[in-house]
Chain A
Amino acid sequence: MQVTMTVNGTEVTRDVEPRLLLVHFLRDTLRLTGTHWGCDTSNCGTCVVLVDGEPVKSCTALAAMTDGHDVRTVEGMARNGTLDPVQQGFMEEHGLQCGFCTPGMMLTARALLDRNPDPDEGEIREAISGQICRCTGYATIVRSVQWAAAHPAAATTEQEVTT
C-alpha cells in the first residue's frame, strides 16, 4: 500500500507492507536511524517520535496509521544548523551516556516545553515516565530539560527562520 506523510518538513510517499511498523518505516525505508528500537512491548520509549507534535511510540504504530500526518524525528530537531535548546541542554547537563534513549527523551522534552515552557521537576519526570534510560539515572535528563527551559532563545530564532 502507499503512504504519504510529512517527515521533518518534507513530504514522502512510499509503497509499504500494511504491517510495517512506523519505527521500521523511519529506520529501514527512510534510513532515519536516529529513531531507535528497544523492546517488544511499548515500554522503553527509545522509539518515540512526534506525530502532529505529540510523542508517539513508533514501535506501536503502523506506518499506515501516520498516512497524512506530520512526523518529526530527532533528525528534524535542529533547524538551519541551529540545535534545539533541548539538544544543547542534553550536552550541557550530561543528559546522555550511550545515547540510545536520547532521541526519544529529547523529543518528549520538546513536546513538553511546547506545551509548558517552564515545567517543574515533577512535570519533567512525569513527561518522560514512559521511557527508560539505563545509563543516566534520570537526574541529568531532568537538568537538561531545565537547561532548555531556561534557554529558549535558540528555539525562538528557529521559529523566526522557519515562518
Chain B
Amino acid sequence: MTTVEERSTMPQERESNPAANAADRPIGYGRIQRKEDPRFVRGKGRYLDDIVLPGMLHGAILRSPMAHARLVSIDTTEALAHPKVHAVITGKDLEGLNLAWAPTLSADTMAVLATDKVRFQGQEVAFVVAEDRYSARDALELIDVEYEELPVVIDARRALEPGTAVIRDDKEGKTDNHIFDWEAGDKAETDAVFARAAVVVSEEVVYPRVHPAPMETCGAIADYDPIDGKLTLYETTQAPHAHRTLYAMVAGIPEHKIRIIAGDIGGGFGNKVGIYPGYVCAVVGSIVTGKPVKWVEDRSENLMSTSFARDYIMKGEVAATKDGKILAVRTHVLADHGAFNATAQPTKYPAGFFSIFTGSYDLEAAHCSVTGVYTNKAPGGVAYACSFRVTEAVYLVERMVDVLAQKLEMDPAELRLKNFIRPEQFPYKNKTGWEYDSGDYEPALRMCMEQIGYADLRREQEEKRARGELMGIGVSFFTETVGAGPRKHMDIVGLGMADGAEVRVHPTGKAVVRLSVQTQGQGHETTFAQIVAEELGIPPEDIEVVHGDTDQTPFGLGTYGSRSTPVSGGAVALAARKVRDKAKAIAAAMLETRPEDLDWEKGRFFVKGDPSAAKTIQEVALGAHGTVALPDGIDGNLDAEVTYDPPNLTFPFGAYICVVDIDPGTGKVKVRRFVAVDDCGTRINPMIVEGQIHGGLADGVGMALMEFIGFDEQGNCLGGSFMDYLIPTAMEVPDWETGYTVTPSPHHPIGAKGIGESATVGSPPAVVNAVVDALAPFGVTHMDMPCTPARVWEAMQGRPTPPI
C-alpha cells in the first residue's frame, strides 16, 4: 500500500522537533536528535588518529612515482640508519612471510608491497616504522629505489589491443589485460526487438573515475601481543567482521586471536570496505617491532591509491516506438578495474548489480554485457555510495531516456510517466532477473513535478531560450536494488551476506543491542535504538547500541550498498520480536494467565478485556531475571539473537528534478534548484533519512559538475589532491527541497528499504540531463561528466568530448 504525504521543507514547517520536551519524544520511529551528537559537537569523537597507545610507533609508505615500471633495486640502508627508525619493510621481507601478495575481494590478487613491478602511480613499495609521524616521512626520503620504466596502459579502450603491455604478468600464462566478460538478459530476444523497433537511439556514455574521498582518510593501528598471540587492530573499516575473517585466512592468525575495533569513522562511502596494504603493513610492523604501529594515509595517498569508483565506458541503446513506448535497452560496457581486480562485490556479480539498468520501466527485452580490463591505475571500482554499480546503471538508463525524449521531441517527464512499471505489476520481474519488491512510481514523479512547478519552469525556459539564455531542467527517476543479500545468491569471498544482531534487556528494563554493521556517520546508534524502541516500547535513550568491536558483536558483513537498515535492521527487529515473545510468556506467568490471553500495546502487556491487569516491559525484565516461576522452556533473561538472511533485495526509488542556469560566456553551470522525492519504505528517523538524501544530492552535483580522477599519458594521476579533485562546497549546492512517499517493502520485517545511497545514485543524471537540456539549442544530445566550465564550453562549440 502506498501513502503519499506532502512534505514542505520550510524550516518552520518541518516535522516538529520534540526533543525540548522529553515527554513528547517518540518511543520508536520519528524525528529525535541523534544519540551520537553530544560527543561529536564537543570534539569528543574517537576517530582512528585520535587513539594513542603506549609505546606506539608510526608507519609511512613509500609509493611509486611511476605508473608501470620494473623494480630493479631498493636500498634501505640509509633509512635504517635514521636514529628514529625502527624498521623498514619491503616486498622482499613480506615474501618471506608469504604476505607480499594478498587475495582481493574479487578472486584476484594484489600486491601488498611491490616485488616485481609497480603497476600504478602511488602503489606501495616500502613501509617505514619510526618513532613519530614526521621522522617516518623523513625516512621515506632516504630510501633509494631504481625503476625501469615500462609502457603504460591508461585508456581502457586500448587495453585489449594486441601488442599492449601486459600489466599482470605475475599471473601465470597471462598474455593480455582481460579480466572478465559477464552478461545478463536475453541477447537474441533483445536484438530482435531492436531490429523491428521504429526508433533506436544510441550514445557512448562515460561514467568517469571518481573517488569517495571521505573527510577522514584511511588508517589502522596494529597492536600485536606476542605473549598471548592476540592481534588488536584498530581500523577505519566499514566491515569489521569480514576483515577479521580475511586476516585470519590470509595472515594465518587464528580468528579468535584477532580483534578488530572500528571507532568513530569520519565518512566511508565505500572507501573503507577493502583491506589496504597499509593495514597489513601496520600488522607486520607491530609483529616485527613488538610495539603498536599506527599508519594513517595522507589525502594524496587516499585519492591516488584507495578504492576509486565507476570508470565505466558504456555504449547505451534504447529501442522504442514512434510514440514513445520504450521496448528494450541494451548496452556493452568496458569496465576499467585498474591494476588489480579488487572491487568489493558479491562473488557472482563481477559487474555488481549493473544489470538493473532496465531502470523503472516496463520493457519487452534487455541485454547487457560487461568486459572488465586491467589498466595502470589504482584498483577498486565499487565505492562512493554506488549500491554495487546501480549508480552506473541508473545514470545510463536515465541519460538514455532523455536522449530518446530529445529525439522524439517529447517531454522527458511525460516519456517516463508513459513507461513506468505500474503499481499492480509489483512484485515485478524485470528482464535481467531482478524481482522488484514494491513500487508506485507515478505519484512520486508527479509530486516532484508539482513541488518544483514543472510546467511553469518549462514556460520560463522557453522565454529564456528566446532571449538566448541557457536554462535547463533535468528529470531523473531511479530504482535502486539494495540490502544485499540472500545468501543463496550473494556472498563475498564465500561469506554469505547476512548480518547478526543481539538484543538484551537488562533487569531494570534498559537494553543493549549489538550490531555487526558499522556506522560511518549514518547515525546507527540512533536508528537501531529506535527500531528496538518501536518493537519493545523501551525509550531509545534507554537503549545502548554497541558496534565496531568484533569481540563484542555478532558476525555480519558490514555497512555498504545501503544494507544496514535492510539487513541489520531486519535482524534487530526480529531479535526484538523474539524478546517480545519471550516477555509475553513471562508476563503471562506474572499475571497468572495464558500468553494467548494477553494483548500488547507498545511497552506493556495487558489481559484482554482488563487493561488494568498489565505488566510493562520493564516489570517483565525484572521478573525474567527475578524469582518469577518461569514457564517451561523459558530461561531467565530477555535476550535474543538473530542472523537475518534477507529473502530478497529491497528496491527504494525516487524522482529528482534539477534546474540549472549556464553562463553562456563562461560555460559555468549553476544549480538553481533541486527537488528530491524519495521512497525508502518505512522511515525510521525522518531527520536522518533526509540527511542521508542531502549528502547524496551533494555527491551528485559534485560528480556531475566537478569531481574527476583523470590521468595523463604517462599514468600520472591528475586528481591526487583537493586542489585538483574538486568537491562541492556550500557555494556549489542549492538548498535541497525534499518530499517523500512511503511504499513499504512487503518482505522486510519493518518495511524499510534503505536510503544511504539513493541520492548519490539518482542525482547525477538529473544534473547532467539539466545541463544537456540547457545546451539543446546547440544541438547537444549528450555530454559526459564532469560538466566543468571548459567542457561545457566545448560542448557549446559542438565538440562535447569524453573525459577519458
CB pair B41 A129 closer than 8 Å: no
Check B42 against A94 for contact (C-beta < 8 Å): no
A-B contact count (CB 8 A): 174
Residue in B44, B133, B215 whose beta carbon sits within 8 Å of that of A44 in the complex: B215
Stretch of A31-39, A63-71, A111-119 with 4 or more beta carbons under 8 angstroms from chain B: A31-39
Given contacts A40-B298, A91-B33, contact A33 B694 (CB under 8 A): no
- Cα distance A74–B731 in the bound complex, in angstroms: 24
Q: Which A residues, 20 to 66, have Cβ-Cβ distances below 8 Å to chain B?
A: 20, 24, 27-28, 31-41, 43-44, 46
A40-B38 CB under 8 A given contacts A92-B33, A132-B727: no
Give bound CA distance, A131 to B523, whole Å. Answer: 22
A126 at the interface (CB under 8 A from B): yes
Counting chain A CB atoms within 10 Å of each CB, which of B36, B38, B40, B697 scores highest? B40
Let me know if B299 and A146 touch, CB within 8 A.
Answer: no
Tell me the nearest residue of chain A to B268, going by C-beta: A98
Given A92-B17, A98-B267: A38 and B216 interface contact (C-beta under 8 Å): yes
Are B521 and A43 in contact (CB-based, < 8 A)? Answer: no
Bits for A84-109, please: 1 = Cβ < 8 Å to B, else 0. Answer: 00011011101011111111001000
Whole-angstrom distance between the Cβ of B303 and the nearest chain A Cβ: 9
- Kindly list chain B residues whose C-beta atoms are within 8 Å of the C-beta of A40: 298-300, 721
| Chain B, residue nearest A147 (CB) | B11
Contact B735 A126 (CB under 8 A): no
Interface core residue of B43, B264, B695 (most chain A CB under 10 Å): B43
Check A43 against B723 for contact (C-beta < 8 Å): yes
Instruction: State in angstroms the CA–CA spacing of A103 and B521 once bound together.
Output: 15
Is B466 an interface residue, CB under 8 A from the partner?
no
Question: Contacts A132-B729, A137-B736 hold; do A35 and B216 have CB atoms under 8 A apart?
Answer: no
In the complex, what distance in Å separates the CA atom of A43 from the CA atom of B52?
A: 26
Which residue of chain B has its CB nearest to the CB of A43? Answer: B722
Return the contact of B687 from the options A44, A77, A94, A101 (Cβ within 8 A). Answer: A94
Measured in the bound complex, the distance between the Cα atoms of B735 and A46 in whole Å is 22
Let me know if B772 is at the binding interface, CB within 8 A.
Answer: no
Q: Known contacts being A74-B42, A97-B523, is A136 close to B11, with CB within 8 Å?
A: no
CB within 8 Å for A99 and B694 given contacts A40-B298, A44-B722: no
Contacting A at CB under 8 A, from B42-73, are 42-45, 47, 49-50, 52
Give, as a whole number of angstroms, the nearest-CB distance from A119 to chain B.
Answer: 12
Q: CB of B74 within 8 A of chain A?
A: no
B41 near A136 with CB under 8 A, answer no
Distance between B529 CB and nearest chain A CB, rounded to angstroms: 16
| Interchain CA distance A27-B733 in the complex, whole Å | 32
B730 close to A98 (CB less than 8 A): no
Q: What 1/0 mask marks residues of chain B from 687 to 708 whose CB sits below 8 Å from any chain A CB?
A: 1101100111110000000000
Residue of B nearest to A76 (CB): B43
Asked if A136 and B723 make an inter-chain contact with CB atoms under 8 angstroms apart, the answer reads no
A75 touching B266, Cβ below 8 Å: no
> Which residue on chain B has the smallest CB distance to residue A19?
B134
| B34: Cβ under 8 A from any A Cβ | yes
Chain B residues, Cβ within 8 Å of A27? 49-50
Among A34, A74, A101, A138, which residue has its beta carbon within 8 angstroms of that of B215?
A101
B213 at the A/B interface (Cβ < 8 Å)? yes
Residue pair A75, B729 in contact (C-beta under 8 Å)? no
Instruction: Enumerate B726-760 residues with CB–CB distance to A below 8 Å.
Output: 727, 729-731, 733, 735-736
Q: Is B37 an interface residue (CB 8 A)?
A: yes
A108 to chain B, nearest CB (A): 11
- Cβ-based interface call for B232 (8 A): no
Q: Which chain B residues border A98 with CB–CB below 8 Å? A: 214-216, 264-267, 520-521
**Bound Cα distance from A52 to B687, whole angstroms:** 36
A33, B50: Cβ atoms closer than 8 Å: yes
| A132–B722 touching, CB < 8 Å | yes
Interface of chain B residues 652 through 708 with chain A (CB within 8 A): 687-688, 690-691, 694-698
In the assembled complex, the Cα of A133 lies from the Cα of B215 at a distance in Å of 7
Partner of B47, one of A24, A36, A146: A36
Q: How far, in whole Å, are A88 and B217 apart by their CA atoms in the complex?
A: 27
The answer on a CB contact under 8 Å between B37 and A36 is: no
A75 to B44, CA, bound (A): 8
Distance, CA A83 to CA B19, complexed state (A): 16
**Nearest chain-B residue to A126 (Cβ)?**
B731
Query: How far in angstroms is the closest Cβ of chain A from B310?
Result: 17
Out of A34, A36, A88, A140, which one reaches B691, CB within 8 Å?
A140
List, in ascending order, chain A residues with CB within 8 A of B691's CB: 94, 97, 135-136, 140
Given contact pairs A34-B44, A102-B40, A133-B215, A39 touches B266 in the complex (Cβ within 8 A): no
Say whether A41 contacts B723, CB under 8 Å: yes
In the complex the two chains form, is B736's CB within 8 Å of A33's CB?
A: no
B245: Cβ under 8 A from any A Cβ: no
CA distance in complex: A30, B537 (Å): 44
Given contacts A43-B722, A91-B41, contact A130 B729 (CB under 8 A): yes
B522 within 8 A of A: yes
**Whole-angstrom distance between the alpha carbons of A134 and B212 in the complex?**
9
| Bound Cα distance from A116 to B520, whole angstroms | 34
Q: A137-B733, A139-B694 are in contact. Are A99 and B40 (CB under 8 A)?
A: yes
> For A17, A40, A137, which residue has the most chain B Cβ atoms within 10 angstroms?
A137
Answer whether residue A149 sits at the interface, using C-beta atoms and an 8 A cutoff: no
Interface residues of B in 240-269 (CB under 8 A from A): 264-267, 269
Contacts of A83 in B (CB 8 A): 41-42
Question: B216's closest neighbor in chain A, by CB?
Answer: A100
Q: How far is the CB of A20 from chain B (nearest CB, A)?
A: 8
Given contacts A100-B266, A126-B731, A130-B729, contact A91 B214 (CB under 8 A): no
- Contacts A/B (CB < 8 Å), 16 sampled: A19-B134, A33-B49, A34-B45, A38-B299, A41-B721, A41-B723, A74-B41, A77-B42, A87-B42, A98-B216, A98-B267, A98-B520, A99-B521, A102-B41, A133-B215, A137-B696
Residue positions of B touching A, CB distance < 8 A: 11, 17, 19, 33-34, 36-38, 40-45, 47, 49-50, 52, 133-134, 213-217, 264-267, 269, 298-300, 520-523, 687-688, 690-691, 694-698, 721-723, 727, 729-731, 733, 735-736
Excluding A34-B44, A103-B43, 4 further A-B contacts by CB distance (< 8 Å) are: A91-B38, A101-B215, A135-B521, A138-B698
- Listed from nearest, the 7 A-B pairs whose CB atoms lie closest are A34-B43, A98-B521, A100-B266, A99-B40, A137-B694, A74-B43, A43-B722
A-side residues, CB < 8 A to B, are: 17, 19-20, 24, 27-28, 31-41, 43-44, 46, 73-75, 77-78, 83, 87-88, 90-92, 94, 96-103, 106, 121, 124-126, 128-143, 146
